[in-house]
Structure 1
Amino acid sequence: MKKNNMLRYRGWVVVLCLFQAWVCSSCGIYSFRGTTLASDIKSVTINNFSMATAGGPANLALQFNEKMKEYYQRNTNLALLPNNGDLQLEGSIVGYEVTPAAPTSNDQAALNRLTISIQVKFTNNKDEEKNFDQSFSFFKDFPQNQTLSQVESRLIPQILDQIVQDIFNKSAGDW
């Protein structure tokens, strides 16, 4: 008797899952790995971000551009176009600063903080209400006994990864 009930239960679970898949597929909204994009959005253009600040490695803008493109390609099915995409991102790196983060009693910082800020203009050519022009920034702390040149190659990718994810969530995740 228990086996029959279990088989009947599994049958209903399968039917409900199929129904849910059918309903979701007919909504006209695609959802890829946490994104919610209208079905008429097929492409993205990521214009090269420029350096608009002093400081930072010479290839910082290139690193950021590549991370943005890779992230959108990896997390959506959108075609990456050189121009005129349904979604467009552009902007510049506007901040690269090292500041003391944890002062001590002898006027030295126990930690220093590397902060990178990026100004992003996002255009959704299918829905103007989703457009934004916003600054995104993130930081990482490092010990006072280490120089920036010692930690830059480790911290910059971590900071850029977080900023890219924040931009993606705002533009494609609809958060």
Structure 2
Amino acid sequence: MKNILFGLACLILLLPIGCGVYSFTGGSTGDAKTIQIDYFPNTAILVEPTLSQSFTLALQDLFLRQTNLKLTDSGGDLHFEGEITQYRIMPIAATAEQTAAQNRLTIGVRVRFYNRLNEEDDFEQTFSFYSDYDGNLQLTGSVLESAYEEIFERITQDIFNAAVAKW
């Protein structure tokens, strides 16, 4: 029994050494130490006043939670910039009375990513996602916050995956 416990203890201690650097998020930031995420202005035809600030903070928050990178205002090893290019609300289902039974909010973001340590990783890409909500509700307050949360979670994770997870 002592031999089994000793063997398990050795395995547990040596396992991290043998596996190298591993991230539970699936992302690798390489030798990068800093990240710069610029403000994403809203250039869409329909402008929601809080959208740019909310999206920029959501992207910064994701990278700060899932990496050990330090946020900087300039000269980051990894640098994100871009703009919100789409903010669209459209009906996706109708009632018998010819009113919207369900609406869809779609947000699109153009992102330019620069890896100052490995320029081969640089890209420019558009990411978008949507949230559906009941046609009887107004897109304000908790309905808007819930839609933003759903959309931002998907878009920011897709950006993370494209930049550091290489998915």
Structure 1: distance between partners of 2:7 and 2:133: 55
**Counterpart code for 1:21:** P
User: What is the aligned partner in structure 1 of residue 149 from structure 2?
Assistant: 157
User: Deviations 1:87-141 (Å, cap 9, x if unpaired)?
Assistant: 0100000000011222456544321100111011111111122211111111111
Cα RMSD for the two superposed structures: 2.0
> SS of the counterpart of 2:124?
strand
Percent identical residues: 34
Structure 1: distance between partners of 2:39 and 2:136: 35
User: What is the aligned partner in structure 1 of residue 32 from structure 2?
Assistant: 41
User: What is the aligned partner in structure 2 of residue 75 from structure 1?
Assistant: 66
- Please say which of residues 86-95 and 62-71 is displaced more in the overlay: 62-71
Please list every run of 5 or more consecutive structure 2 residues that lacks an aligned counterpart in the other structure. none
User: What is the aligned partner in structure 2 of residue 137 from structure 1?
Assistant: 128
Structure 1: distance between partners of 2:47 and 2:8: 55
Whether contact under 8 Å (1:140, 1:159) holds in the other structure is: yes
Please list every run of 5 or more consecutive structure 1 residues that lacks an aligned counterpart in the other structure. none
- 1:76 Cα offset (Å): 1.2
Structure 2: distance between partners of 1:102 and 1:10: 61
What does residue range 22-171 of structure 1 map to in structure 2 within 5 Å? Answer: 22-25=17-20, 29=21, 31=23, 33-38=25-30, 40-104=31-95, 107-149=98-140, 151-171=143-163
Structure 2: distance between partners of 1:19 and 1:153: 46
> SS of the counterpart of 1:102?
strand
**Counterpart code for 2:3:** R
What is the TM-score of this pair, normalised by structure 1?
0.84
User: Deviations 1:42-86 (Å, cap 9, x if unpaired)?
Assistant: 111111111111224212101111111122112211111111111
- 4+ long deviations beyond 3 Å: 103-109
**Counterpart code for 1:163:** I
- Please say which of residues 134-143 and 163-172 is displaced more in the overlay: 163-172
- Please say which of residues 137-146 and 14-23 is displaced more in the overlay: 14-23
Whether contact under 8 Å (1:112, 1:142) holds in the other structure is: yes
- Please say which of residues 11-20 and 94-103 is displaced more in the overlay: 11-20
